[in-house]
Amino acid sequence: MVWRWRYCYKDVLPFTAMVSMECANVGLNTLFKAATLKGMSYHVFVVYAYALAALVLLPAPFFSYRSIVLPPLTFPILCKIGLLGLIGSSSQIMGYTGISYSSPTLASAISNLTPAFTFILAIIFRMEKLDWEKTSSQAKVMGTIISIIGAFVVTLYKGPPIVIAFTPIQPLSSPETNLASGGLHSANPNWVIGGVFLTAEYILVPLWYIVQTQIMKEYPAELTVVFFYNLCVSFIAAIVGLATEKNASAWRIKPDIALASVVCSGLFGSCLNNTVHTWALRLKGPVFVAMFKPLSIAIAVAMGVTFLGDTLHLGSLIGATIISIGFYTVMWGKEKEEMAEDCGSVTGVDSASSRKVPLLQSYKNEQV
C-alpha cells in the first residue's frame, strides 16, 4: 500500500500535473494573443497578471509556517528569490513580446530548445548525473535529442493534409472576423523579431528552473516562494511598464477578452502553473520539468484541430509520434535512475543495520 502511494505521488501525479499545465499554457498563450489583437499592452498584462497571483497567494506564508517546520527566511534566500523574479520577469516580457510579433504556435515550437539548455545547465551545476556507461544516462540524452528533432519536424515539415476541417469562407478584412474564425495571427506578423524574443525567453527559462530548484533545496515551501516570486515579478514589470507605457489609457482594462486573459493568466498561469512547476522541480528536478516543453507543440496542434478547426497534416502526426518516443525514452531513463538510487539506499540501510546488530548483541553480552 505504501509503495502504491509513493508511486502515485512521485510518478503519476507529477506526470499528470505537468501535462495539464502544458495544456493550460497553450490555451493561455492563445488567449493572450487574442487580447493583444484587441490592443492590450503586454507590459500591462504582466503587471496585472502577476499582481493578481500575488494577491491570491498572500495568505500562503502564514499557512506555510503553521503547517510545516521551515528554516528561517534569510536575506540570502530573499536575494535568490529576487534574482528569480528578475529572470522570470525578463523571460515573461520577452515571451509575450515575441508572441505579439508572431503567434502561440511559434512560441510552442521554439520552447523545444528548453530541454537541451536545461540538461546542459543541470550537468554544469551537478544537478544531473551523466555516466555514458549507464543506459539511463544514454536514454536521457537520446530521448532529449529525439524530442527536439520531433518538435522541429512539426514546425518545419507540413506534409499533405490528413484531417481537413471545414470552415465557412469569411471576409478577411476585419481583425474581429479573423479572431472569431480562430486565426490568431497578426495582420503583418514579424516572425524574425518574434523568434528572437522567444529564443531569448527559452534561454532564460532553463536558468529559472535551475535557480528555483536550488531555492527549493534551501527553503522547501512552494506557495511561499511563489508568492514572493510573483510579487517581485509584478514589481519589476511595473517599473518597466511605467517606463514604456506612458499612455494612461493603456492601464485601463476593459471588461472584455483582455480582462478574461488577465484573470485566467493570473489564476491558472502565474499562480497555479508556477506552483505546480515549483513543486515538480523540488520533487523530480529541472530536467523532468523541461522535458514536457516539446509536448506543447503537439498539444497546440491537437487543440487547434479540436477547438479551432485547423487541418491536421502528416508532418504534425509524424512529429508528435517522434516527440512521444523521445519523451518516454527520457522518462524511462529517469525512472531507471531513480530505481537504482532507491536500491542503493535500501542496500546501504540494510548493510548498516547488519553491522549494528552484532554490536548491540555484544553490548548486551557484556552487560550480562
Q: What is the pLDDT of residues 170-194, one digit of tens each?
A: 433 333 334 333 344 444 456 778 8
Give percent of the chain above pLDDT 70.
Answer: 79
The answer to whether 189 and 101 are in contact (CB under 8 A) is: yes
Q: Is the pLDDT of residue 121 over 50?
A: yes
Q: Measured between alpha carbons, how far is 47 from 237 in angstroms, rounded to an integer?
A: 5
Residue that wins the pLDDT comparison between 146 and 345: 146
Residue that wins the pLDDT comparison between 250 and 267: 267
Q: Is the pLDDT of residue 366 over 50?
A: no
Residue 63 DSSP code: H
What pLDDT is stored for residue 345 in this prediction? 57
Question: What mean pLDDT is reported for the chain?
Answer: 77
Cell 500575488 identifies what position? Answer: 54
- 54's CB contacts (< 8 A; 6+ apart) are 227, 230, 231, 234
What pLDDT is stored for residue 359 in this prediction? 41
Mean pLDDT, range 193-216, rounded to an integer? 87
What pLDDT is stored for residue 347 in this prediction? 55
Least confident range from 127-141, 172-186, 218-232: namely: 172-186
**What's the Cα-to-Cα distance from 120 to each of 86, 152, 202, 210, 304, rounded to whole Å?**
22, 19, 14, 11, 32
Mean pLDDT, range 16-45, rounded to an integer? 85
The answer to whether 136 and 334 are in contact (CB under 8 A) is: yes
Q: Is the pLDDT of residue 346 over 60?
A: no
What does the pLDDT look like over 64-96, one tens digit per residue? 655 567 778 888 999 999 999 999 999 988 988
Q: Measured between alpha carbons, how far is 263 from 258 in angstroms, rounded to an integer?
A: 9
Residue that wins the pLDDT comparison between 246 and 178: 246
Q: Measured between alpha carbons, how far is 236 from 94 in angstroms, rounded to an integer?
A: 14
What pLDDT is stored for residue 282 in this prediction? 87
* First-to-final CA distance of the chain: 41
Strand partners, 206: none
Mean pLDDT, range 256-268, rounded to an integer? 91
Length of the chain: 368
Q: Measured between alpha carbons, how far is 76 from 70 in angstroms, rounded to an integer?
A: 15
Mean pLDDT, range 88-108, rounded to an integer? 81
Q: Measured between alpha carbons, how far is 272 from 265 in angstroms, rounded to an integer?
A: 9
Q: Is the pLDDT of residue 360 over 60?
A: no
What pLDDT is stored for residue 290 in this prediction? 81
Q: Measured between alpha carbons, how far is 216 from 279 in angstroms, rounded to an integer?
A: 9
- 30's CB contacts (< 8 A; 6+ apart) are 104, 184, 303
What pLDDT is stored for residue 80 in this prediction? 92
312 three-class SS: strand
What pLDDT is stored for residue 308 in this prediction? 58
Give residue 83's identity as a one-letter amino acid code. Answer: L
Transcribe 145-191 into DSSP letters.
Answer: HHHHHHHHHHHH---SEEEPPP------SSHHHHHHTT----SS--H
State the cell numbers at 183.
486565426
- pTM here? 0.73
Give residue 278's identity as a one-letter amino acid code. Answer: T
